[in-house]
């Protein structure tokens, strides 16, 4: 067993807390050691929200804030309360997970580097990142970049699927619709937002809108992006989303479409498959970037394929954040597991 990756988390929102929860629930932390937490919310509130989670349930551990630390059973993690990391010492941190959603400019994105972290991984699209990398789509783009964007949850679900389809069948063109659970960007009651439709109460209506994944494809799979269009429908569920892809391919597989889609994803590191007639809540807590619903696959006419897949937009995305952090840290130290 190699050395653990030393990680700090800036921002304990949905993704920050889910990452922390995954590390705590994985034997040995999955080769990760959380060495620092930072959030602008009161530590006692962060402890409460980690312990009691409306999506993932109550954590079966004692969680409390005390003496500048978050205490989880007998584990003590230093906790700071800084809006800009200016007073936070990050020396010795392999990767800072920037989970505030505010790393849109170079000065904000590089704050972790300025405070001593070796690298910064942003939990979402960031124009200030050196590179945007999605595991299973453009892994080789990581290189020596010190500020990396992990793209969006939908990009992580879609881009690896597009790469698989293109490699196996030759992707000519496609349209993707993401059926996405509501998020914190939507109001719980009708309230003004920049987008008229997104100004409506999130839990009461299906809301047609755009998806950042369509724009992110230019960064992640530029060789395929011009062939893809995309849209989104936000739906009144709290977790787990879906991708519905209809593609025209050059070499459509013959025979049973279920067998064909099993063959398509065989060996993929991040795309899974299910043969059960699942509904969205069945996929809560799945770590894959996308889980194909095999029985929903259709081969239509001359080379048209329909593929439907589920993704836990919080748990699966957080799993990729940890995977990417391990890869980033391993560049600095070959002894890291």
Confidence of residue 334 (pLDDT cuts 50, 70, 90): confident
Name 254's Cβ contacts closer than 8 Å, sequence gap at least 6.
none
Tens digit of each residue's pLDDT (9 = 90 or more) over 173-223? 999 999 999 999 999 999 999 899 999 999 999 999 999 999 999 999 999
Q: What is the DSSP string of 109-121?
A: HTHHHHTT-SEEE
**Contact (CB, 8 A) for 159 and 221:** yes
Domains, the chain, ranges and CATH?
A: 5-123 (3.40.50.720), 153-313 (3.30.360.10)
Cα separation, 317 vs 55, in Å, equals 15
d(CA 21, CA 26): 9
Choice among 13-22, 55-64, 272-281, 328-337 with the minimum mean pLDDT: 328-337
Residue 218's contacts (CB-CB under 8 Å, 6 or more residues apart) are: 225
pLDDT the model gives residue 1: 60
As a whole number of angstroms, the distance between CA 249 and CA 246 comes to 10
- CA torsion 26-95-58-29 (nearest 10°) is 20
Query: Which tens digits make up the pLDDT trace of 221-242?
Result: 999 999 999 999 999 999 999 9
Annotated active-site residue 153? The verdict is yes
Reduced to 3 states, what is the DSSP secondary structure of residue 149?
A: strand
Q: Name the residue among 43, 134, 34, 133 with its Cα closest to residue 80.
A: 43
User: Which of 12, 252, 301 lies closest to 261 in space, CA to CA?
Assistant: 252
Q: Which of 46, 153, 181, 337 is catalytic?
A: 153
Q: What is the pTM of this model?
A: 0.97
Quick one: pLDDT at residue 337?
Answer: 60
Distance CA 86, CA 110 (A): 12
> What's the pLDDT tens digit per position in 62-73?
999 999 999 999
Of 11, 97, 73, 74, residue with least CA distance to 46: 11
**Among candidates 150, 120, 314, which has minimal Cα distance to 220?**
150
């Amino acid at each position: 067993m190699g050395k653990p990756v030393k990680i700090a988390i800036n921002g304990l929102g949905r993704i920050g807390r889910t990452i922390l929860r995954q590390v705590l629930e994985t034997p040995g932390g999955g080769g990760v050691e959380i060495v620092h937490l930072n959030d602008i919310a009161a530590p006692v509130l962060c402890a409460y929200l980690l312990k009691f989670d409306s999506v993932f349930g109550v954590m079966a551990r004692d969680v409390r804030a005390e003496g500048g630390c978050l205490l989880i059973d007998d584990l003590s993690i230093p906790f700071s309360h800084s809006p800009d990391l200016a007073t936070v010492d990050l020396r010795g941190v392999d990767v800072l997970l920037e989970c505030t959603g505010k790393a849109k400019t170079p000065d904000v994105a590089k704050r972790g580097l300025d405070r001593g972290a070796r690298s910064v991984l942003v939990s979402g699209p960031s124009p200030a990142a050196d590179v945007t990398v999605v595991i299973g789509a453009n892994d080789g783009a990581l290189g020596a970049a010190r500020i990396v964007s992990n793209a969006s949850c939908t990009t992580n679900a879609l881009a690896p699927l597009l790469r698989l389809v293109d490699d196996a069948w030759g992707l000519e063109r496609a349209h993707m619709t993401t059926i996405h659970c509501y998020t914190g960007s939507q109001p719980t009651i009708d309230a003004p937002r920049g987008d008229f439709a997104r100004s409506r109460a999130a839990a009461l209506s299906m809301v047609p809108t755009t998806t950042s994944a369509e724009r992110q494809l230019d960064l992640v799979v530029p060789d395929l992006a011009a062939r893809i269009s995309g849209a989104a429908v936000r739906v009144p569920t709290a977790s787990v989303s879906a991708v519905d892809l209809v593609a025209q391919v050059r070499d459509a597989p013959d025979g049973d479409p279920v067998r064909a889609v099993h063959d398509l994803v065989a060996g993929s590191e991040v795309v899974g498959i299910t043969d059960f007639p699942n509904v969205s809540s069945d996929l809560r807590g799945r770590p894959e970037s996308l889980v194909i619903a095999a029985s929903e696959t259709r081969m239509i006419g001359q080379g048209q394929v329909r593929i439907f897949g589920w993704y836990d937009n919080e748990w699966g995305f957080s799993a990729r954040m940890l995977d990417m952090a391990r890869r980033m840290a391993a560049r600095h130290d070959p002894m890291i597991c």
